[in-house]
């Protein structure tokens, strides 16, 4: 049963057990809430029967019923307390664990997943979907299960009391339930459309915030707002349609239930007229009929909420089922040579990025990947760090296939500087210390000087403690790049990946930083990706990638003498930059 709950409701193993406990205590509470009706029944039976039957007498006095009322009230209070602790508190714990579980899952997923998913979509899954599950599971779903169970138990008791009136009371329930189940498919489809429309609105807003500079620069505000207005209207229209469909479904089932009251009146009156039923029993069933359909209506409302929740549950299950990158947790290679052997790779089927790529980046050497844009340079560097897994062939580090190594264990040996720098909304000191969390302030300052950061940092209001805003928004592109280089220097890993690491720098600062990079790459395996020939002037080996294939390979002098792609790139840039000498 627990396994079914885990899959059906996207719960953890502990969450499934807690949910079952919550349903149990909610069921007990529903039954306990019937105690006032039992109390009234006992009181009326004791005091009303002598009126209807003069030969009968009152069995219990008023003090007895006061004590019984106090006992019933105490039982209800204790059960309600147990239900609250087992239901709400545990559900909120499960919600917290669900978010942590999702975060852990995202941490170990391959980067290919994030390339396919929109940021707003992921954020909505972690935050909005989890919140909706939390609210529904704490208020609706346990009550749904508990109501089914308690109503089933009550109906059995009533059937034993009087089966004719019980049939008259409950014959409408299967019909009303059939209306709900018949509408499920259409309601599910409407919920999917509504959910997707909501995502479209969120993504459009996210896109507008991310590209607001471009929108304003090219006077596209009106076009953007018209697009947003269209998506909002579509969302509003679908939301209204979905609400109307759900309302019509629930109200139709509730209208059918009202026929049950009429059935009880008619059947009871007929039985009463033929002396097959006493007046007291008839009154009891009329009282029950006036109250029994309210919890059934609540069940139907909760079922509609569960139908809407199915989409979110499916998304949670899909994310938890995604394949992750696994491997050995402990990895200490004999050496740090990176070897590509007949590597093929595509981000998506039918769009090949690398085709039969083979080369070796040796420890202690600088290997530069150059070539036209779109040739596969950055992809090769990311495959070397197992940000993605190759489709065929293999990449080895120290003669070990990196597919057999856990990504976190592998990345301990890498320092990476990409062109797109990511900084955090905290101090400069903390941003650099991300390279090595236990580094001292003196070590951070030392690498900052090597990366030519120290001078501009000390000019800031709080120096190294200056908060730099989201993604370093208070810094220039070159300053952000230098902080990224300082971070890599601090990590001091045996393998260095530099993807256009100096692309945002002017010639003067690039020259200064070369000294810091020289410190970073000494006696290490270095992969440099660059379009500027100045950056690869001192490389030991050049690998030219064109259209996803290795077009040329060798040292700079050899490739220049071949008059191939590399030589043409050098000649083209020499014409624009006389400082280049290769």
Tell me the C-alpha distance between 201 and 233, whole Å. Answer: 10
pLDDT of residue 261: 84
Tell me the C-alpha distance between 528 and 370, whole Å. Answer: 8
Structural domain boundaries in the chain: 2-321, 327-412+523-576, 414-492
CATH match of 327-412+523-576 with 3.40.50.300: yes
Phi, psi of 531 (to 5 degrees): -100, -30
Tell me the C-alpha distance between 511 and 514, whole Å. Answer: 5
pLDDT of residue 581: 46
Tell me the C-alpha distance between 103 and 96, whole Å. Answer: 11
DSSP SS3 for 360: strand
Q: Token pair of 152, please?
A: 């089933």
At 489-548, the pLDDT tens digits run: 898 899 988 887 666 566 666 666 666 667 667 778 988 887 777 777 778 899 998 888
Running DSSP on this structure, what letter comes out for residue 111?
Answer: H
Tell me the C-alpha distance between 113 and 323, whole Å. Answer: 10
The partner residues of 544 in beta bridges, in order of sequence, read 370, 552
User: If phi over 0 gives left and psi between -120 and 50 gives alpha, with beta otherwise, what is residue 203?
Assistant: alpha
Running DSSP on this structure, what letter comes out for residue 496?
Answer: E
Tell me the C-alpha distance between 532 and 407, whole Å. Answer: 31
What is the four-CA torsion angle of 478, 482, 483, 484, rounded to 10 degrees?
A: 100
Give pTM, 2 decimals. 0.65
**Assigned CATH for 414-492:** 3.40.50.300
Q: Token pair of 320, please?
A: 């938890």
Distances (CA, A) of 322 to 76, 105, 297: 45, 9, 38
- Whether the domain at 2-321 and the domain at 414-492 fall into the same CATH topology: no
pLDDT of residue 247: 77
Tell me the C-alpha distance between 259 and 175, whole Å. Answer: 11
Sign of CA dihedral 274, 276, 279, 281: negative
Strand order in the sheet with 400-401: 351-361, 338-348, 392-397, 400-401
pLDDT of residue 339: 93
Looking up tokens 């609540």 gives: 298
| Buried/exposed code over 324-342 (b: 16+ C-beta within 10 A; e: otherwise) | ebebeeebebeebbbbbbe
Write down how long the chain is: 582
At 42-83, the pLDDT tens digits run: 777 666 666 556 665 556 767 877 888 888 888 888 888 888
Non-local CB neighbours of 391 within 8 Å, separated by 6+ positions: 344, 345, 346
Tell me the C-alpha distance between 81 and 29, whole Å. Answer: 9
pLDDT of residue 397: 92
Asked if 404 and 327 count as a contact pair (C-beta separation under 8 A), the reply is yes
**Assigned CATH for 2-321:** 1.20.1560.10
| Residue numbers in the chain where pLDDT is lower than 50 | 578-582
Report how many helices (DSSP H) and strands (DSSP E) the chain contains, helices first: 23, 10
Looking up tokens 């390979």 gives: 553
Asked if 504 and 524 count as a contact pair (C-beta separation under 8 A), the reply is no
Nearest Cα neighbor of 147 from 308, 304, 298 is 298
Nearest Cα neighbor of 386 from 103, 108, 101 is 108
The partner residues of 328 in beta bridges, in order of sequence, read 405
């Amino acid at each position: 049963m627990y396994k079914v709950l885990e899959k059906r409701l996207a719960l953890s193993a502990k969450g499934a057990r807690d949910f079952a406990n919550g349903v149990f205590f909610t069921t007990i509470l529903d039954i306990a809430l019937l105690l006032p009706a039992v109390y009234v029944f006992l009181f009326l039976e004791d005091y009303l029967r002598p009126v209807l039957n003069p030969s009968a007498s009152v069995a219990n006095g008023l003090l007895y019923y006061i004590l019984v009322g106090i006992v019933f009230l105490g039982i209800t209070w204790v059960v309600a307390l147990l239900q609250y602790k087992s239901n709400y508190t545990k559900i909120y714990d499960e919600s917290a664990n669900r978010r942590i579980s999702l975060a852990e899952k995202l941490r170990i997923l391959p980067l290919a997943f994030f390339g396919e998913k929109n940021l707003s979509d992921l954020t909505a899954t972690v935050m909005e979907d989890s919140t909706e599950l939390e609210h529904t599971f704490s208020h609706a779903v346990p009550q749904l299960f508990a109501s089914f169970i308690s109503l089933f138990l009550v109906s059995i008791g009533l059937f034993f009391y009087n089966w004719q009136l019980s049939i008259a009371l409950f014959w409408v329930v299967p019909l009303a339930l059939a209306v709900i189940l018949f509408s499920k498919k259409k309601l599910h489809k409407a919920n999917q459309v509504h959910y997707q429309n909501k995502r479209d609105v969120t993504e459009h807003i996210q896109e507008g915030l991310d590209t607001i500079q471009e929108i304003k620069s090219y006077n596209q505000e009106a076009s953007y707002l018209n697009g947003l207005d269209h998506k909002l209207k579509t969302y509003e229209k679908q939301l209204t349609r979905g609400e109307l469909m759900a309302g019509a479904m629930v109200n139709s089932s509730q209208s059918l239930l009202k026929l049950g009251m009429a059935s009880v009146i008619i059947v009871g009156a007929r039985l009463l007229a033929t002396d097959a039923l006493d007046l007291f029993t008839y009154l009891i069933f009329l009282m029950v009929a006036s109250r029994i359909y309210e919890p059934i209506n609540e069940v139907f409302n909760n079922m509609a909420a569960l139908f809407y929740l199915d989409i979110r549950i499916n998304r949670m299950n899909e994310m938890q089922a995604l394949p992750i990158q696994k491997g050995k947790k402990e990895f200490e290679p004999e050496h740090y040579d990176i070897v590509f052997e007949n590597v093929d790779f595509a981000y998506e089927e039918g769009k090949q990025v690398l085709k039969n790529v083979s080369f070796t980046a040796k420890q202690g050497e600088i290997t530069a990947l150059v070539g036209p844009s779109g040739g596969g340079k950055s992809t090769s560097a990311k495959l070397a760090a197992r940000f993605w897994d190759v489709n065929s062939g293999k990449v080895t580090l120290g003669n070990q296939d990196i597919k057999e190594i856990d990504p976190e264990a592998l990345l301990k040996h890498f320092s990476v500087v990409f062109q797109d720098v990511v900084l955090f909304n905290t101090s400069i000191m903390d941003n650099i210390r991300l390279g090595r969390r236990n580094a001292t302030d003196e070590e951070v300052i030392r690498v900052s000087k090597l990366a030519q950061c120290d001078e501009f940092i000390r000019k800031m209001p709080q120096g190294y403690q200056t908060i730099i805003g989201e993604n370093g928004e208070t810094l220039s592109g070159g300053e952000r790049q230098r902080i990224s280089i300082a971070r890599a220097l601090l990590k001091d890993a045996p393998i260095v990946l530099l993807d256009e690491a100096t692309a945002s720098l002017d010639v003067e600062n690039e020259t200064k930083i070369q000294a810091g990079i020289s410190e970073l790459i000494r006696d290490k395996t270095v992969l440099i990706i660059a379009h500027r020939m100045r950056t690869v002037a001192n490389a030991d080996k050049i690998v030219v990638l064109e259209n996803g294939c290795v077009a040329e390979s060798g040292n700079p002098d050899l490739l220049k003498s071949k008059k191939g792609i590399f030589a043409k790139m050098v000649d083209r840039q020499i014409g624009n930059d006389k400082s280049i000498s290769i």
